């Protein structure tokens, strides 16, 4: 489900879980292992997905089968790998050539830069429509990147947005033709990867410090709130209906 492509001192970490790149326990496990390998072996990373879906988000048909302990393990692991990407001491970019829905948007937010293909490519966080809160770490990252007003509108409404709107609110950095997205990401990260590593790591540590501290302090309480919502009866019914659309 995960592939690492060597581009000299930059790694392209590619999600390869069929067409939708749905986020399952196995994908999260593989992603975590890959991120730790990249941290030790490369000076930059690009996170990429497929042409139709960067990622559709959580694999609802599979996750609906999990009991509370199983879902707890998955949800904590998912948030941890997002945290690991967000705090990587190397430059990172997300090359988005397909829809990045819910968890897909969350993955993109964990990177330093986001490059999106033109056309009808949807991004957004529809958690509220399924009866669960946007994960705490995601909320923190989104407000840092897009600002409080835009972030509030996104998470309150649960609506998806297209590239022009994503660029307007600062959710992405550039819109490019489909075939140029990964090349632009590689160009950007390759340039940054030539900088002195120790200095870059210190600068990035400053950038992520406030969110790192908040997440480390509050993640257990916030994650349990999400899980309480997930296993409530009304939400289970909404998730069942959503899973039928996969």
Instruction: Decide if 123 contacts 160 (C-beta within 8 A).
Output: yes
Mean pLDDT of the chain: 97
Closest CA to 151 of 163, 176, 134: 134
Q: Which residues of 96-124 are buried (b: 16+ CB within 10 A; e: fewer)?
A: bbbbbbbbbbbbbbbbbbbbbbeeebbbb
d(CA 68, CA 65): 10
The torsion defined by the Cα of 186, 23, 74 and 155, in degrees rounded to 10, comes to: 80
Q: Is the pLDDT of residue 223 over 90?
A: yes
Which pLDDT band, with edges at 50, 70 and 90, does 228 fall under? very high
Instruction: Decide if 75 contacts 226 (C-beta within 8 A).
Output: yes
Q: Which residues of 139-148 are buried (b: 16+ CB within 10 A; e: fewer)?
A: bbbbbbbbee
d(CA 154, CA 90): 29
What pLDDT, in 10s, does the model give residues 169-218? 999 999 999 999 999 999 999 999 999 999 999 999 999 999 999 999 99
Which pLDDT band, with edges at 50, 70 and 90, does 245 fall under? confident
Q: Is the pLDDT of residue 246 over 90?
A: no
pLDDT at 43: 98
Domain 2-179 indexed as CATH 3.40.50.300:
no
pLDDT at 169: 97
Q: Where do the domains of the chain lie?
A: 2-179
Instruction: Decide if 167 contacts 115 (C-beta within 8 A).
Output: no
Instruction: Decide if 16 contacts 2 (C-beta within 8 A).
Output: yes
pLDDT at 217: 98
What pLDDT, in 10s, does the model give residues 23-69? 999 999 999 999 999 999 999 999 999 999 999 999 999 999 999 99
């Amino acid at each position: 489900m995960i592939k690492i492509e060597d581009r000299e001192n930059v790694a392209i970490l590619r999600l390869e879980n069929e067409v939708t790149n749905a986020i399952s326990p196995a994908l999260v496990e593989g992603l975590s292992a890959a991120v730790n390998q990249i941290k030790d072996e490369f000076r930059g990373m690009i996170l990429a997905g497929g042409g139709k879906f960067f990622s559709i988000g959580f694999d609802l048909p599979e996750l609906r089968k999990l009991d509370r302990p199983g879902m707890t393990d998955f949800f904590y692991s998912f948030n941890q790998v997002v945290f690991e990407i967000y705090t990587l001491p190397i430059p990172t970019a997300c090359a988005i050539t397909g829809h990045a829905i819910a968890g897909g948007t969350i993955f993109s937010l964990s990177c330093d830069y986001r490059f999106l293909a033109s056309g009808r490519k949807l991004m957004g966080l529809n958690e509220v429509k399924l009866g669960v809160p946007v994960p705490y770490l995601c909320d923190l990252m989104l407000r840092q990147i897009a600002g409080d007003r835009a972030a509030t509108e996104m998470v309150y409404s649960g609506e998806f947005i297209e590239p022009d709107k994503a660029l307007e609110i600062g959710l992405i950095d550039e819109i490019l033709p489909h075939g140029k997205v990964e090349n632009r990401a590689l160009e950007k990260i390759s340039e940054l990867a030539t900088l002195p590593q120790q200095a870059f790591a210190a600068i990035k540590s400053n950038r992520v410090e406030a969110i790192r501290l908040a997440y480390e302090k509050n993640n257990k309480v916030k994650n349990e709130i999400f899980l309480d919502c997930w296993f409530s009866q009304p939400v289970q019914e909404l998730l069942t209906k959503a899973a039928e659309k996969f």
